[in-house]
A and B are shown apart, each in its own frame.
Chain A
Amino acid sequence: MLAADGTPLKASLGRALRRQKIRALALIAPLLLFVLLTFVVPIVSMLFRSVENQIVSGTLPGTVVALESWDAGSGGIPSEDVFQNLFFDMFNAAEAKEHTKLGTRLNYENTGLASMFRTSGRSMDDVGEVFQDAIEDVDDQFEDGAFWFAMMNGAGGEDLLRERLERWVDLTGDDMRGDVGFVPSAEIVELLPTTAAAYTDFAIWTAIEDEDVVAEEDPWEAVYAALVVDLENPATGTAIAAYEGEGAEALQAIAAAEMPKADFTAAFADLDEDWANTDVWKTIEVYSSAYTTGYFLNSVDRELTPDGVELRPDNERLYIKLFGRTMWMSMIITLSCIILGYPVAWLLANLPMKSANVLMILVLLPFWTSLLVRTSAWKVLLQQQGVINELLVWLGFVDDANRLILMNNSTGTIIAMTHILLPFMILPLYSVMKTINPTYLRAAKSLGATNITAFRRVYFPQSVPGIGAGSILVFILAIGYYITPEIVGGTDGVFISNRIAYHISRSLNWGLAAALGTILLVLVLALYWVYDQIVGIDNVKLG
C-alpha cells in the first residue's frame, strides 16, 4: 500500500511517528537536561564517594607499591625500602600540602594518624637536611641550583618525566599542564635513578606550581637524600668512577666521602613512634586500594581489618540501631497520620462546600508555615514548663513534681512529626474520598447493611488508594527528616539523617555519609518494591 506521495505507507507512517517523537523529546529536553545536571549527576557523584579511596595510593604511590611485599601477619614493621619510599612520597605530599588530607582520611580508621601525618609532614625538610649539609660540606658546588640543573638535564629521560608528572596529577588533582623546561638525561637516570626521580619531582613542582625557572632554584632536601640513597648501592660507586658527564668530579668526590647513613626507618620512628607500630601499617595497607568497602562496612557497624570483616566493639555500634529506629518510628508516624488524618479527610469530603473550604484552610495553614517555626512551637508546648504540662498541672491531672516528659525523647519526635506530616496524608485521602460516590453507601444501607458494615465493606475499600498514596508520601518524607528530630528528639528520638548531617557538616567524613545515604536510599526503594508487591502501585491515587 502506498501513501499519497508514493512511498510505502509503513515507511511514511514510521517517519511521521519518528518526527513526533523527536519533537516531543525536544520539548522535554530542557527539563531532562536540568534534572540530569542538577539532580542525577550530583547525587550519583556524591554516592560514588562511598566507595572512592584513591587518596591513599594517590598520596603515597611508591609506599603503597613497596608495601605489597610486606606480610601484615608477620607482626613486624615494613622494610627500609617501604620507609624510603614513604620519605619521598611524604616529601612531595608535604610540598603540595596533601599529607594532612591523607592523615584526616586515615584518622577515621585509626585514631591518631591525623596528627602523625601533620607533624611528620612538617619535619620532612629536617630529615633531608642532614644529607644536604653533608653533601655541601664535601663540595659546595652542590649548593648551586644551576650546577644541579646542568648535571641532571639532558635528553632521553622523557619516560621518567611523564611518569613523575602522572604522580603529581594523582597527588594534587590538578592537570599539571605547562612546560617543565627540564628533561632528565638518560645517563643520569641510569646512573642515579632515585636522584633523577627526586630531581624531576622538584623540577615539575618548581616549573608548574611555583612558576619559577628550574635552573635558578636550589633543589629540595629530598634530592640530596636521594643522592645518598643512590650512593649506598655499591654498583653505583663503580659506575660513578666511570662516569664522564657533567659534574663527574663532584659526584666522585661525594661517592668517596663518608655520608650519613640513610636510615629512614629510624628517622620516621624518631618523628613519631607510631610509625614503628604494626597497626598503623596494617591500616595503611588495608586502605591502600583505590576503592574500598570500608565506608559501607562502617555504616553497618562493621570494620575492615587485615583479618577480614569484623563486628565493631559493643560500645561503638550505632548505625544499625539508628536505621532500625528510623524505620520503626517512621512507621509509627505514618500510622498515627492515618488514624488522625482519615476522619479529617472524611469530614472534608462530606461537608458542604462552604464549611469544607474553611476546614481546608485550617489543614493547609500549618502547611504554609515554616518548618522551623512549627517545630519550635512544639517545643514551647511540650517542654516540662510548657503549655501542656502547665495546663495538666493546673487541672490537677499531673502532680507538679512529676510533670510529663513529652520532648527530648522519641515521644516528642513522633508528636511533632505527625503534626508536620499530617497534610501529606490528608490531601491525597481527601482527593480520593471526594471521588467516592455517596450513592454507594446509601445503596448498601438500603440493602440492609449497618453503618459499620457499609463503611467497612463499601466505603473503606474505595479509600484504600488514598491511604496508600498518603502512606508512601508520609513514610518517605519521615525517613529522611532531620530538623525536627534534631530539635525535639533528644537522644532516643534522633534519626539516621541526623548522623548523615553530622558527617557531612561536622566530621567531614563524606565517604561515610555517602554510604549511609546510599543505604537509606536502597532501603526506601526496597520498601517501595515491597509495597508495590503487596498493595500494587497502580492502586495509589494522588487525585
Chain B
Amino acid sequence: MKLTKTLLATTALGLSAASVMADGHMSSDMTLVSWGGAYQASQSAAYSDPYVAMNEGVTVTWDESSAEAVAKLRAMNEAGSITWDVVDVVAADALRLCDEGLALEIDADEQLAPAPDGTSAEDDFGDLLVGDCFIPQIVYSTTFGYRTDLVPDGVDAPDNICDVFDLETYPGMRALEKRPINNVEWALLCDGVAKEDVYDVLSTEEGQEQALAKLDTIRDSVIWWSAGADTPQLLADGEVFMGSTYNGRLFAAIEEQDQPIGMMWDAQVFDLDGWIIPAGLSEEREARALDFVYFATDTQRLADQAKYISYGPARMSSAPLVGQHATLGIDMAPHMPTDPNNAANTFLYNYEFWADYRDDIDAKFQAWLAQ
C-alpha cells in the first residue's frame, strides 16, 4: 500500500517530484533487459537517457537477453536471486511470465501515467494491455518484404498475402519463420478461410492439417529463419525473393541501407512488445522499476521512440506526436505499421489462442518440417 501511495503522490506532484524522492527508498542501480541492436538503442535514447538525466545518481545497465528472458527469469526465480529490474518482452512471453508468477501484476490506472488530456492509462492503452503484468510499448508487425528487382517482367509487384503461395506468378525462394505462429494463419487465409474464422478453424485437427497442407505446396521453396535479422540478410543477398520479418527490420534495410526491397503490408500480423517487472524484487528495486516504467511509458516517451525506429507507439495519445526520424529526417508516420495506408488489411495475433495451442501446433509443425 505504501507503494501505491507513493505512486499516487508522484502522479499528483508530477514527474519532477520523482527525482526528489529518489534517494529515500529507491535503489540507485537498475538493470534493463532488451533485444540489443537498433531497437535497444532507440529505447536507450528515448527512455533511459532522459530518465538518468532527470534522476541524478541513477545508473542503468543494459542486458541483451530478451530472447531468452522467460527461461532466464525462471532460472533466476528458482535460484532466488533476480538480477533484472525491468525486462522487455513480447506480449506472448509476458503472458507466460504472468502465468508462471514470474512477473509483477500491474494496475495500469494506478501505476502508469495518464495521457496529457487526462485519459486514464487503461483507456489510453486500450486492448493492448494483454494479461495482468504487461506494460505495452510498441506495436510491431510481422510482414513481408520482397526484392523489387526480382519481380518477373510484366507482372505487378506482390501486394497480396496469397502471392506468397503463388509460385507460378512469383517464382523464387521465400523466407518464413521456423515456427507455426503467423505461418499457419496466412496459410489458412490463402486457403479460403475467412479472417474471423481462422482461429476457430485452427483449433481443430482438420484445420491444423489444412494449414500444413497449404504450407506443403511451397515447402520446397522455403528457407526457414529463426532470427529476425535473417530475412533482411537473405533478401539483401538475393537468396530469397520474398520473406517475412519484423517491419522495423525491413525499414532499416530499405531506408537506412538502401536495399532494393519493397514492403508488402497485406495481412501484416500485429504484435506487441513491452515491459514487465520481475516478481520478487526488493522494495527499493521494485519502487525504482515502477518509477522508471511510469516515466518510460508516458505519452511523450513512447512517441519519442518512434524517432529512432519504425514501430508504432502503444498509446493512442502518442500517435499524433510521432515526428521525423532522428538522423534520416524523413516522416516516420507513413512507415508505422499502424498507418492507415499500411493497415488496410491486418491481422491481430491471438494471445489466448497461442498460449493454449503453441505447444500442440508446434509439435505438429516440427514433425511436418522433419518429414
Interface residues of chain A, those whose CB is within 8 Å of chain B, are: 97-98, 100-101, 103-104, 107-108, 111-115, 118, 315-318, 321-322, 383-386, 408, 486, 490-492, 499, 504-509
Contact = CB atoms under 8 A, between A and B. Distances in A.
B96 interface: yes
Contact of A315 (B68, B355, B368): B368
Nearest to A380: B237
B366 interface: yes
Given A486-B226, A508-B74, A100 B100 contact: yes
Interface in B95-118: 96, 98-101
Contact of B359 (A97, A108, A486, A490): A108
Contacts of A115: 352, 355-356
Interface in B319-362: 352, 355-360, 362
B364 A97 contact: no
Contact of B239 (A384, A491, A504, A507): A384
Given A108-B359, A486-B226, A492 B101 contact: no
Contacts of B70: 505-506, 508
Contacts of B367: 315-318
Contacts of A113: 356
A115 B359 CA distance: 13
B99 A385 contact: no
A100 B99 CA distance: 5
A318 B363 contact: yes
B209 interface: yes
Interface in B226-247: 226, 237-239
A114 B101 CA distance: 14
B171 to A, nearest CB: 10
Contact of B71 (A98, A112, A386, A505): A505
A429 B141 CA distance: 53
Contact of B370 (A108, A322, A408): A322
Interface of B: 67-68, 70-71, 74, 96, 98-101, 173, 178, 209, 212, 223-224, 226, 237-239, 352, 355-360, 362-364, 366-370
Given A104-B96, A321-B370, A383 B239 contact: yes
Given A97-B101, A317-B367, A491-B224, A111 B360 contact: yes
B189 to A, nearest CB: 22
A491 B355 contact: no
Contacts of B96: 104, 508
21 contacts: A100-B100, A103-B99, A104-B100, A107-B356, A107-B359, A111-B357, A315-B209, A318-B363, A318-B366, A318-B367, A318-B370, A383-B239, A385-B237, A408-B224, A486-B226, A491-B369, A492-B370, A505-B70, A505-B71, A506-B70, A508-B74
A316 B363 contact: yes
A509 B74 CA distance: 12
Contacts of A107: 356, 359
Given A504-B71, A505-B70, A114 B355 contact: yes
Contacts of A386: 237
Contacts of B178: 491
Nearest to B105: A97
Contacts of B212: 315
A509 B363 contact: no
B370 A491 contact: yes
Given A318-B367, A491-B369, A507-B359, A385 B239 contact: yes
Nearest to A100: B99
Contacts of B358: 507
B82 to A, nearest CB: 16
Nearest to A96: B101
Given A318-B367, A322-B370, A384-B239, A509 B359 contact: yes
B243 to A, nearest CB: 13
Interface centre among B226, B237, B239, B370 (most CB of A within 10 A): B370
B370 A111 contact: no
Contacts of A114: 99, 355-356
A103 to B, nearest CB: 7
B370 A490 contact: no
8 pairs of A and B residues whose beta carbons are closest in the complex? A100-B99, A111-B360, A505-B71, A318-B367, A491-B369, A97-B101, A385-B238, A505-B68
